[in-house]
Amino acid sequence: MLTAMLDAGMAVLIWLVQIIIYPSFRTQRVEGFAFWHAAYTQRMGYIVGPLMLFQATFHVVAWRGVLLEHGLMSGPFAVQSLSLLLIMAAWLVTAFVSVPCHRALGTTGYSSYMIERLIQTNWWRTGLWTAVAALDLM
């Protein structure tokens, strides 16, 4: 139950980021963008960081529980394994695509190219975290 709530929370959050927050970067003033962006990333980190850690932790615990209860060759174990793989993929995209985009924006300031890259590549994370939440319905 708590795992499903965390998954739904991550899905809602990533959709807000994709549809509202990242596109709003386009409307920020060029002057002072790096300062604004630094404050944004710090504040979002307080929300996203714990959610990501809790989600991953709860999924690892659930994965182990399903393995012990249902065995390696069960449907529930396959679903839980897929969820965990999707979360790991979202973490990899975050670490190797999204974080470098944010670092570039924080370092160089406003860059329409980097903002568009962030918006476009964030669809990967949006799809991954949405799929994790959808698997909870199975």
Mean pLDDT of each 10-residue bin along the chain, 138 residues long: 95 98 97 96 97 97 92 90 98 98 96 98 99 95
| Cβ-proximal residues to 110 (8 Å cutoff; 6+ apart), any chain | 28, 29, 30, 33, 34
- Please tell me the predicted confidence (pLDDT) of residue 21: 98
User: What is the reported pLDDT for 5?
Assistant: 96
| Alpha carbons 16 and 75: distance in angstroms, whole number | 32
- For residue 106, give every residue at least 6 positions away whose Cβ sits within 8 Å of its Cβ, in sequence order, or none: 34, 37, 38, 41
Query: What's the confidence (pLDDT) of residue 71?
Result: 85
State residue 138's pLDDT score. Answer: 83
- What is the number of structural domains in the chain? 1
pTM of the full predicted structure?
Answer: 0.93
Distance CA 134, CA 30 (A): 38
Domain interval for residue 67: 2-135
32-69 b/e (C-beta count within 10 Å ≥ 16 → b): ebeebbeebeeeeeeebeeebebbbebbeebeeebeee
- pLDDT at residue 80, rounded to an integer: 96
